[in-house]
Amino acid sequence: MTSSDWLFPLLLVVVFALMAESVRQLRRRWLLVKVEGVSMEPALHDGHEVLAKRTRRIAVGDVVVVAAPDPGLGWAEADRAPSVLRARRRSAPSGKRASRDPDSSAAPGRDDAPSPWWIKRVAAGPGEPMPGSGDPVPPGHYFLLSDNPAGEDSRRHGPCPAAAVFGTVIREF
């Protein structure tokens, strides 16, 4: 067997592996989320989609994609949030569309499950006063609000741990 007989198939395997890894890296960094409900109107409308980029640089006023809180317990504490986020990613992998409010509709393909992602605006960061109460936001948390007062947000579920924030919305479709 000559070197050219095994070199071409080996080259194909390497190219395929590099392409698969590139797709995996892109899916870890970007998320497409479908807007459902009216909680972010007038900025984002029902039926639109937004593209979010994973980042930890979050400022007041940014629109962010976060792991939805537990309906009864609110957002998990900071030490539990990464495991909550991993569990939610398994239920709706990156690139899969999901709704943002638990009462609006289930994620596609899962009629009985609430959405794993919410879209909200950052109203206050760590140490800043929470709107309404004036108490400081705990370290490692953000106070999130809906643009529409009818939406669910930190007023009901408490401050969101930074570990539950996927990233910021960079584009609406």
Domains annotated on the chain, with CATH: 31-172 (2.10.109.10)
pLDDT at 76: 59
The sign of the dihedral angle between the CA atoms of 9, 14, 18, 23 is positive
How is residue 38 annotated by DSSP? S
pLDDT at 172: 79
DSSP 95-127: T----SSTTT-PPTT-TTS--SEEEEEEEE-TT
Q: Tens of pLDDT along 15-69?
A: 888 888 888 777 777 888 888 888 888 888 888 888 888 888 899 999 999 988 8
pLDDT at 123: 93
Extract the runs of DSSP E, i.e. beta strands, from the chain: 30-34, 49-54, 63-67, 117-124, 141-145, 160-161, 165-172
Q: Tens of pLDDT along 72-121?
A: 787 755 444 444 444 444 434 333 334 444 333 333 444 445 568 888 99
Question: Which tokens belong to 72?
Answer: 């009864």
Residue 144 has pLDDT above 90, yes or no: yes
Contact 38, 150 (CB under 8 A): yes
